[in-house]
Amino acid sequence: MAQVARVSKMTVSNVLNGKPNVKASTRQRVLSAVEATGYRANPVARALAGQRHRLLSLVARRSNLPYVTEVIRGASEAAEALEYDLVVLMVGQRQSSDLSLFLRLSQGAAFVHADAPGLGVPPGDLPLHCVTVDGPTHDSLRVDNLGGSRAATRHLLELGHTRIAFVSGLLALSPEASLGRSDAAERLRGYQDTLEEAGLTLPEAYLQHGDYSPESGERAARALLALPEPPTAIFAAGDAMAVAVIHAAQDLGRRVPTDLSVVGFDDLPFFRGVRPALTTVAQPLGSLGEEAVRHLARLAQGETPAALPPPLATTLVVRDSAAPPPPHQSIQTP
Partner DNA sequence: TTGTACGCGTTATCAG
Partner DNA sequence: CTGATAACGCGTACAA
Strand partners, 281: 265, 316
Q: Which does 52 bind (CB under 5 to 8 A by kind): its own copies, DNA, none?
A: none
Nearest-angstrom CA–CA distance, 285 and 132: 14
Write the interaction track for DNA spanning residues 32-71; mark x where CB under 7 A is met and - where it is not.
--------xxx--xx-xxxx--------------------
Nearer to DNA, 28 or 258 (CB): 28
Q: Quickly list DSSP for 169-191.
A: -----SHHHHSS--HHHHHHHHH
Q: Which does 329 bind (CB under 5 to 8 A by kind): DNA, its own copies, none?
A: none
Backbone phi, psi, residue 288, to 5°: -60, -45
Residue 308 binds DNA (CB under 7 A)? no
Q: Which does 237 bind (CB under 5 to 8 A by kind): DNA, its own copies, none?
A: none
Runs of H (alpha helix) within the chain: 2-5, 9-16, 24-37, 43-48, 65-81, 99-105, 145-159, 175-178, 183-197, 214-225, 239-251, 285-300
Nearer to DNA, 22 or 277 (CB): 22
Q: What single-letter DSSP state applies at residue 96?
A: P
Residue 43 binds its own copies (CB under 8 A)? yes
Residue 213 binds its own copies (CB under 8 A)? no
Residue 112 near residue 92 (C-beta atoms within 8 A): no
Nearest-angstrom CA–CA distance, 229 and 220: 15
Exactly one of 2, 27, 85, 193 binds its own copies (CB under 8 A); that residue is 85
Residue 100 binds DNA (CB under 7 A)? no
> Which of the residues 232 through 291 are near its own copies (CB under 8 A)?
243, 247, 250, 269-271, 273-275
Centroid of chain to Cα 308? 15
Q: Quickly list DSSP for 254-266.
A: --TTTT-EEEEEE
Q: What single-letter DSSP state applies at residue 21?
A: -
Exactly one of 18, 23, 327, 334 binds DNA (CB under 7 A); that residue is 23
Nearer to its own copies, 195 or 237 (CB): 237
Residue 44 binds its own copies (CB under 8 A)? yes
Exactly one of 31, 88, 157, 306 binds its own copies (CB under 8 A); that residue is 88
> 140-174 as b/e, with b when 16 or more CB fall inside 10 Å?
bbbbbbbbbbbbbbbbbbebebebbbbbbbbbbee
Exactly one of 48, 128, 177, 198 binds its own copies (CB under 8 A); that residue is 48
Residues in binding contact with DNA, number by CB under 7 A? 27
Element of type H or E holding 317: strand 315-317
Q: Which does 270 bind (CB under 5 to 8 A by kind): DNA, its own copies, none?
A: its own copies
Residues that bind DNA (CB under 7 A): 1, 6-11, 13-14, 16-17, 20-23, 25-27, 40-42, 45-46, 48-51
Residues that bind its own copies (CB under 8 A): 38, 40, 42-45, 47-48, 53-55, 62, 65-66, 69, 72-73, 76-77, 80, 85-90, 92, 94, 96-102, 104-105, 122-125, 243, 247, 250, 269-271, 273-275
